[in-house]
């Protein structure tokens, strides 16, 4: 086979065969094809799209391009969740222990934040000593012993995606539906999931800013999963305003612990209960956890009764984290400077732009521009209002936690851009827009 022919087929709008896709991906991953040929194929895919069958074949070729995680000897049915990335999204810290508390083992590999999007590993590392780098053996052993493990990627899962993603980044081919969907799903399949709950974010703080695009992405990923023999649920959730109140690593861990104690912001709690319910529905395989009301009652009992918190504590302890920080979140890293952003007028909150709020936290050092940048776990912002809330001039809307006076001004400027007011009442934003179900 010749790369030039595969590229020409896609350039001319033809569907690629499974053999062509497998050959191209294998050759590129092994270093037998140059970047410029892979870039040409990516651009042809970007311009001409891919059929459902091609997208599935691309996903599987990437999923099996390196190591795969097989937990089938320790976990009968492995259920995973994936968030397409958001602002203040600390959902995994609550959902995983909650689901594990119901007797469903969870073994999840998460990522780090980049740009304005946060990452679960950065949040967990706000807990002193928490080890996210586990060997494959350790990962398996913790999954078997505790029924819960939350760490970074071990082994080389889906290396084709890693290489292609880096190339997409520098060739303006990231925002392509088949390329995004296959990239995300290849990693889930390589990580051994039997069922996947996708939390596809929509809005200003998300990859997909409008509902139609997000729905199409969600449907494409569900279709890939179903064709690859996986059970799938995709939830379309709002990301126009931050989820919960806290944006910043230690602040988000504290908020997650509050939720695990039955408290925390109402929107975040509700979001976690819904996503956990979807995970149980998949794990129940149509025989268990089919009644949504019963499932929600069980989840509320485990959240409010402290069972999920105990499971979280066990996970932190097993991965070397300082559990005294879980017992007393005041021991988490704290910032030295506390400032307040106050309402500039009376009115209703019409906008709390999630992207601007993320950049506000980023300016303080909560995020990273390049993979190699370090972050400050203590800094961030806590937003005390939601879209639709009525406020009075001078009311504290956001608390800023900083460690450098010089960074506060830039943070405040983003907060000013983020917030808009209306003189007339504004409807609150929904938490979820839709759910897409798919099963094999």
Distance between CA 20 and CA 193 in Å, rounded? 26
For the bound state, the minimum distance from the C-beta of residue 92 to ligand URA, rounded and expressed in Å, comes to 15
**Torsion angle defined by CA atoms of residues 190, 195, 196 and 197, in that order, rounded to the nearest 10 degrees:** -170
Judged by beta carbon, residue 91 or residue 311, the one nearer ligand URA is 91
For the bound state, the minimum distance from the C-beta of residue 234 to ligand URA, rounded and expressed in Å, comes to 14
Range in contact with ligand URA (rule: CB under 6 A) among 94-102, 179-187, 363-371, 417-425: 179-187
For the bound state, the minimum distance from the C-beta of residue 165 to ligand URA, rounded and expressed in Å, comes to 6
Judged by beta carbon, residue 188 or residue 314, the one nearer ligand URA is 188
Q: Which of 184, 243, 353, 418 binds ligand URA (CB under 6 A)?
A: 184
The answer to whether 180 contacts ligand URA (rule: CB under 6 A) is yes
Binders of ligand URA among 207-236, rule CB under 6 A? 207
Active-site residue flag, 169: no
| CA-to-CA separations, 200 to 205, 217, 235, 395, 436, in angstroms, rounded | 12, 8, 6, 33, 10
Long-range contacts of 370-378, Cβ-Cβ distance < 8 Å, separation of 24 or more: 371/112, 371/114, 375/113, 375/122, 375/249, 376/335, 376/403, 377/122, 377/125, 377/126, 377/249, 377/250, 377/332, 377/333, 378/126, 378/248, 378/249, 378/250, 378/332, 378/333, 378/334, 378/335, 378/403
Judged by beta carbon, residue 219 or residue 310, the one nearer ligand URA is 219
The answer to whether 319 contacts ligand URA (rule: CB under 6 A) is no
Active-site residue flag, 17: no
Residues 6+ apart with CB under 8 A from 1: 19, 20, 23
Judged by beta carbon, residue 190 or residue 298, the one nearer ligand URA is 190
The alpha-carbon radius of gyration of the chain (Å, integer) is: 22
Active-site residue flag, 187: yes
Strands of the sheet with 337-342, listed across from one edge: 246-247, 380-383, 396-402, 337-342
For the bound state, the minimum distance from the C-beta of residue 434 to ligand URA, rounded and expressed in Å, comes to 20
183, 186, 237, 276: which one is catalytic? Answer: 183
Active-site residue flag, 261: no
For the bound state, the minimum distance from the C-beta of residue 220 to ligand URA, rounded and expressed in Å, comes to 12
Give the count of residues interacting with ligand URA (CB under 6 A): 6
Binders of ligand URA among 192-211, rule CB under 6 A? 207
168, 204, 230, 314: which one is catalytic? Answer: 168
| CA-to-CA separations, 249 to 223, 387, 421, in angstroms, rounded | 34, 23, 28
Distance between CA 416 and CA 423 in Å, rounded? 17
Binders of ligand URA among 156-175, rule CB under 6 A? 165
| CA-to-CA separations, 114 to 119, 120, 122, in angstroms, rounded | 8, 11, 10
Active-site residue flag, 355: no
The answer to whether 183 contacts ligand URA (rule: CB under 6 A) is yes
Judged by beta carbon, residue 179 or residue 400, the one nearer ligand URA is 179
* Active site (catalytic) residues: 82, 161, 168, 183, 187
Applying CB under 6 A, which residues contact ligand URA? Answer: 165, 179-180, 183-184, 207
């Amino acid at each position: 086979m010749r790369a030039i022919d595969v590229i020409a087929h896609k350039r001319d709008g033809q569907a690629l065969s499974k053999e062509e896709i497998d050959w191209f991906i294998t050759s590129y991953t092994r270093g037998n094809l140059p970047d410029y040929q892979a870039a040409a194929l990516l651009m042809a895919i970007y311009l001409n799209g891919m059929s459902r069958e091609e997208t599935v074949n691309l996903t599987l070729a990437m999923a099996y391009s390196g190591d795969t995680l097989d937990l089938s000897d320790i976990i009968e049915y492995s259920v995973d969740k994936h968030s397409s990335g958001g602002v203040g999204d600390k959902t995994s810290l609550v959902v995983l222990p909650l689901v594990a508390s119901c007797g469903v083992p969870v073994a999840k590999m998460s990522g780090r934040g980049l740009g304005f999007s946060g990452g679960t590993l950065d949040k967990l590392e706000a807990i002193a000593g928490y080890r996210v780098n586990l060997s494959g053996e350790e990962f398996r052993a913790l999954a078997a012993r505790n029924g819960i493990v939350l760490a970074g990627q071990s082994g080389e899962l889906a290396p084709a995606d890693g290489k292609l993603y880096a190339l997409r980044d520098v060739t303006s081919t990231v925002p392509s539906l088949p390329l995004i969907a296959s990239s995300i799903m290849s990693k889930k399949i390589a990580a051994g999931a039997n069922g996947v709950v996708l939390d596809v974010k929509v809005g200003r703080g998300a990859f997909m800013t409008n509902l139609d695009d997000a729905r199409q992405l969600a449907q494409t990923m569900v279709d890939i999963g179903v064709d690859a023999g996986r059970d799938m649920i995709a939830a379309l959730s709002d990301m126009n305003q931050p989820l919960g109140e806290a944006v910043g690593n230690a602040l988000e861990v504290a908020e997650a612990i509050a939720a695990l104690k039955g408290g925390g912001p109402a929107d975040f709690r509700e979001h976690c209960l819904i996503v956990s319910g979807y995970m149980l529905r998949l794990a129940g395989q149509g025989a268990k956890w089919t009644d949504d009301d019963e499932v929600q009652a069980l989840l509320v009992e485990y959240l409010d009764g402290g069972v999920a918190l105990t499971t979280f504590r066990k996970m932190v302890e097993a991965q070397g984290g300082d559990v005294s920080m879980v017992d007393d979140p005041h021991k988490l890293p704290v910032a030295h400077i506390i400032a307040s952003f106050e309402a500039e007028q009376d009115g209703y909150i019409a906008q709390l732009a999630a992207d601007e709020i993320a950049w506000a936290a980023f300016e303080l050092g909560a995020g990273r521009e390049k993979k190699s940048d370090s972050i400050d776990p203590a800094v961030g912002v806590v937003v005390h209002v939601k879209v639709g809330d009525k406020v009075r001039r001078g009311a504290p809307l956001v608390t800023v936690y900083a460690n450098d006076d010089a960074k506060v001004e830039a943070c405040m400027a983003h907060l000013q851009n983020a917030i808009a007011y209306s003189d007339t009442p504004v409807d609150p934003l929904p938490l979820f827009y839709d759910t897409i179900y798919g099963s094999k």
